[in-house]
A and B are shown apart, each in its own frame.
Chain A
Amino acid sequence: MDEFKTIGKSVEKIDSISLATGEEKYVDDFPLDNPLHLALLYSPHAHAGIVRIDTTEAESMEGVVSILHHGNTPDKLHTTAGQGFPEPSPYDSRIFDKKMRFVGDRVALVAAETIEIAREAAKKIEVEYKLLEPLFDSERAMDADAPRLHGDDAFAPIPVKYDPAHNLAAEVEMSFGDLEAGFREADLIFDNTFYTPYASHCAIEPHAAFARFDERGRLVIYTATQVPFHARRIVGRTLDIPIGQIRVVKPRIGGGFGGKQEVFLEQLVALVTWRTKRPSKIILSREEVFANARTRHPMRTRLKAGAKSDGEITTIELDCLMNTGAYGSHALTVLSNAGAKVLPLLNKVKNVHFIGRSVYTNLPIGGAYRGYGATQSYSAYNQTIDMVARAAGVDLLEFFKKWTIKKGETSEVFRVLGEGKEGVAQIIHSCKLDECIDRGAEAIDWYAKRGRRIEVAPNIVKGVGVACSMQGSGIPKVDMGAASMKMNEDGSFNLYIGATDIGTGSDTIMAQIAAEVLGITPDRFIVLSSDTDLTPFDVGAYASSTTYISGQAVRKCAMKVAEQIKEVAAEMLDLPIEGLFLDNGRVIDDVSRKAVTLDDVCYYAFYTSNQRQIAAGASHFATESPPPFIAQFAEVNVDIRTGRVELIKFVSAVDCGQPLNPRLAEGQVEGAVVNGLSYALWEEYIYDKNGRMTNPSFWDYKIYTAADLPEMATIIVGSYEETGPFGAKSIGEIAINGPIPAIGNAIFDATGVRVFEAPYTSERVWRRLKEEGVTD
């Protein structure tokens, strides 16, 4: 695909210098005229009813302006999940509730002249609780005698199974083939249960929002969000404010990873400002981000597989129990993806059953998190495949190459399993997973290290492991993105997109796509994204959708603009439009080689004859969701005496279709990998016996720093996806799927011991080594 001029080039991210010099503004960087500062009071109990709330003393404090709680706020049930409408997540949340469902649930909000006064006043609110039996064990959640979290009024807004009486936030089931027959055919049965823990997104910018009125009395909300249009809708519907009275602006965002696909602060600033007529703002502390915002849903994954002695898998039975915590944000869709993004990979398996359940517990709230269920489930899937290949005496790489889905093939799973409804059948148009496997294997030197248990020092043994995965590119027949564009006299263009750049570089990618169509350089575009007053709609930054969905909208929009430019040029040159093409800032006639510049075209259109604005808009939704593919390799040294896992090298080889901007694509992979590495080795929520998180800080919840990195290699294996913009598929999420299983498989390769519970801390690995008699 060498004919591209801009696509495939590592164009510098358009905001990188302004970010690196500290010029760009995030939510908390905008000056506000005399704002109110907001502080939340949280429940100290995991499960309790509020019997009485007395704000008298708090309200009497000088500087306290307003206190909100369940007694004086709208009690409309909604979901905080920033998804399309009606959301596939249950309506089980209120702005404030009288029932507390986890340590950290919201009791009240104080609006005051300073943040110090607001925090002090929050402590002075007297609350009398009636304690209820808490539920912490997700395995017990559906028992008849388990404490019940949600009442009968909670409901699912779409027709799916939802049973709050049994703490069931979502259930997904899918089957094809004949499970029993598959097991009968099998010579080997593998039945194992794996665990992945709670985790925090750890975007370095904490959640933040402010609201103010504009000059005409409309409510303006600036928020650190991945979903500005959903935020506008959810605020409007929850507070009964007309959507036309609300403007949501997304400035620069300091990382999201799914954590900001959630609308839970916008209602607060909107309500305070709506009532007090004063600007108001809320910035969460790091502790609040950990304990009160959203998390990765922990999952218990039981995977039972039957295989013939040569390794052919006849049957897969996947049973996922997902803990959604106190509220069911993304409870159905993350769960669905634990099957839908995973089971198609081995598409030759004829008998498949998937059952997933999301259950409520009195623990922090789950939510969207990069990888979105696939990460949890792939941990079990890839380690089971390792077991099968080993039992059959087949090299794991050869196993993957033989049994994974190929170009031109399909999987029944695509058709059967959607998000709260049937899926969408699709054929794979692009897949270079085999090449990813080969190139990754070479980079890690697989055959020199695999199965050799090289003792690099006394009691320290080397192992290598691999994991393969796929993701999607947007949600088919659901996600929509739109763009509009107008031309200026110097041949520059304003590009308005709903797409939400949260640090990913999508503003740059969209400019590259438009530039490719119009035959100019990306710096000719002035990109404005995610302002509900100024840009067209987009569902937002999630589901690996931006490049594939929003990018296609930009491409369509630019093609319309190109047509208009050619029309004007044809008029100017008095030549037929058919022979004209755009290149290097000019419109050229293929035959006569006569040309006009884009500047000339715009001046002519504005001022000379048949005057008009060259401008267009377009939107796009997809009927497919082509998966990117990845092979990821880990090399570890395991200390047999202590269980310490030292990560030596990590290799990712990925097929994301045509990489539109290779450096930014690599950056997506590297960021996801390193997040995944510290999730695999260190990250987890730790609770005391009352359900309080005991490690809500970067001191106690360690994430990787630069000094912790292993040797890293990222290999972009280009393919061409015919349904994507200039051949592109997604890249944002997929690379977080590999670290847990690749490292788990490498630990086994070194020690012969399987560790079923992540993260692979020294203690956990040591306990397993001891259990298996490898160490004493």
Chain B
Amino acid sequence: MRGEFRINGAIKECEFAPEAVLAQVLRDNGHTEVKIGCNRGECGACVILLDGELVNSCQVLAATATGREITTVKGVGNLHEPHPIQTALAETGAVQCGFCTPGMVLAAFYLLSRNPDPTEKEIANALDGNLCRCTGYVKIIEGIKLAAERMRANG
């Protein structure tokens, strides 16, 4: 079947199987920044924003997402214009292998859009659905805290 997706502000028409999940359809259409670590909604590597809500895109049928607003990590910030969350994670050493990072960035983006001044515990709880095996999370929490400070300072 075919459907139109609104991905990071651009409209893209994609062909996909009726049972296809959104994570795979996004990846098959060039959005390899959406990672798949388990395909079962357990690891959070594939999270995106769907109409502003944080979801595991491996658990969403692509057919239910047509016409809806999809934000991947590249919609938060890109190589040439990175978002403060991305630069703060880089500066604090929070990016090791980077496979979980797109999901972490989106989880942080979602948190900070609702709570611009979270405590460390609130940050940790907001990352509960995103597994990382490299960093031990310490620097990810530090990075998000730094990003929050900078975002508050810049309004």
Contact = CB atoms under 8 A, between A and B. Distances in A.
A675 interface: yes
B91 interface: yes
Residue from the set A16, A201, A675 with the largest chain B CB neighbour count within 10 Å: A16
Contacts of A401: none
A252 B98 contact: yes
Contacts of B73: 20-22
Contacts of B125: 706-707
Nearest to A259: B133
A114 to B, nearest CB: 9
A642 interface: no
A205 B86 contact: no
Contacts of A29: 27, 32
A204 B99 contact: yes
A426 interface: no
A257 interface: yes
Contacts of B40: 286, 697-699
B137 A703 contact: no
Contacts of B87: 17, 20
B38 A698 contact: yes
Contacts of A15: 95, 98
A517 interface: no
A663 B99 contact: no
Interface residues of B, number: 56
B141 interface: yes
Interface residues of A, number: 56
B128 to A, nearest CB: 4
A206 interface: yes
Contacts of A667: 93-94, 96, 134-136, 139
Residue from the set B78, B96, B98, B135 with the largest chain A CB neighbour count within 10 Å: B98
A673 B74 CA distance: 31
B39 interface: yes
A158 B43 CA distance: 41
A15 B95 CA distance: 9
B97 A255 contact: yes
Nearest to A665: B93
A17 B86 contact: yes
Contacts of A666: 93, 138-139
A257 B132 CA distance: 13
A253 interface: yes
B135 A204 contact: no
B97 A502 contact: yes
A57 interface: no
A670 B132 CA distance: 12
A670 B98 contact: no
B128 A705 contact: yes
Nearest to A661: B93
Interface in B132-151: 132-141
Interface string A1-41: 00000000010110111111111111011000000000000
Given A21-B79, A286-B37, A705-B127, A205 B32 contact: no
A674 B139 CA distance: 12
Given A17-B86, A257-B133, A706 B97 contact: no
Given A21-B78, A21-B82, A204 B138 contact: no
A436 to B, nearest CB: 18
Q: Is the interface of B mostly helix, strand, loop or mixed?
A: loop
Interface in A694-720: 697-699, 703-707, 709, 712, 714
Residue from the set A19, A504, A675, A703 with the largest chain B CB neighbour count within 10 Å: A19
B105 A10 contact: no
B43 A204 contact: yes
Contacts of B95: 13, 15-16, 19-20
B27 to A, nearest CB: 8
B139 to A, nearest CB: 6
Contacts of B39: 285-286
Interface string B92-121: 111111111110010000000000000000
A671 interface: yes
Contacts of B127: 705-707
A664 B93 contact: yes
Interface in B61-98: 72-74, 77-79, 82, 85-87, 89-98
Nearest to A664: B93
B45 interface: yes
A706 B124 contact: yes
A253 B86 contact: no
Nearest to B132: A204
Interface string B30-50: 001111111110110100000
A313 B35 CA distance: 52
Interface string A180-211: 00000000000000000000011111100000
Nearest to B125: A707
Nearest to B104: A20
Interface in A36-75: none
A17 B105 CA distance: 11
B131 A505 contact: no
Residue from the set A24, A28, A706 with the largest chain B CB neighbour count within 10 Å: A706
Nearest to B28: A31
Nearest to B139: A667
A31 to B, nearest CB: 9
B7 interface: no
A670 B136 contact: yes
A17 B101 contact: no
Contact of A202 (B36, B79, B102, B133): B133
B100 to A, nearest CB: 5
A244 to B, nearest CB: 31
Nearest to B127: A706
10 contacts: A16-B89, A17-B90, A19-B98, A20-B86, A20-B95, A20-B102, A204-B133, A254-B97, A667-B135, A667-B136
Interface of B: 27, 32-40, 42-43, 45, 72-74, 77-79, 82, 85-87, 89-102, 105, 123-125, 127-141
Interface of A: 10, 12-13, 15-26, 28-29, 201-206, 252-255, 257, 285-286, 502-505, 663-664, 666-667, 669-675, 697-699, 703-707, 709, 712, 714
Given A20-B90, A504-B96, A663-B139, 9 more contacts: A21-B77, A204-B100, A255-B134, A286-B38, A286-B43, A674-B137, A705-B128, A707-B125, A707-B127
